[in-house]
Amino acid sequence: MILKNLFYKLFNIKVEAKENLMKKFLIVGLGNIGDKYENTRHNIGFKILDEVASEHNTSFETEKLGDIASFRFKGRTFILLKPNTFMNLSGKAVKYWMQKENVLIDNILVVTDDLNIDFGTIRVKAKGSDGGHNGLKDIQEKLGTTKYPRFRFGVGSNYSKGRQVDYVLGEWNKEEEGKLIERLPTSSKVITSFGTAGLANTMNTFNGK
């Protein structure tokens, strides 16, 4: 009887641990550190995470390889990460915090800019190529897979040939800044939906909007 009770106790502990694991999410916003990059298109990942943190009354603290904030929402734990490694080395921070917090790869969401999508358009995907994005490329290399969820925020492609870098590292124009006021709260809802409603439902609800 004692052994039987011990077995059930250990079984319940394992089940509870697994359930807790399923309820923890690592949200990674990509960007470059420093004031000169703060309002650039390439830093939309940082900007969206700042919106999420503000809405959920949490703040970032600088820790190893990035700025970290966390909050609980509807029984889920959300860990927000803004890597301080610069864009091209984002994978190092993602892998470190994924392992430190014991987050499942399906529970990671990487937020990034996308030149191939119209400004403000949302596209959430379960996997995909790096699309020429150096941050995604490094994450892919460090994790050894392209199968991790990502949230692409369209920044448009209103630039002349050969000016792609200048465009993504350029600041938002007045029209874009005005529209961001509405797009940022929507983007915040994408993130909490990912953790509470799941990837498929989030894609169905927000993609293309």
What letter would DSSP give residue 172? P
Tokens of 181: 């006021």
64-82 per-position pLDDT tens digit: 999 999 999 999 999 999 9
What average pLDDT does this structure show over 151-163? 90
pTM for this prediction: 0.89
CB 25, CB 103: distance < 8 Å: yes
Judge whether 56 counts as a catalytic residue: no
pLDDT of 16 strictly over 70: no
Residues making up the annotated binding site for tRNA are 37, 86, 88, 134
Residues making up the annotated binding site are 37, 86, 88, 134
What letter would DSSP give residue 40? B
**What are the structural domains of the chain?**
24-206 (3.40.50.1470)
Q: Residue 17: which pLDDT band, with cuts at 50, 70 and 90? A: very low
> Which of 12 and 187 is assigned the larger pLDDT?
187
Q: Could you say which of 28, 41, 42, 90 is catalytic?
A: 42
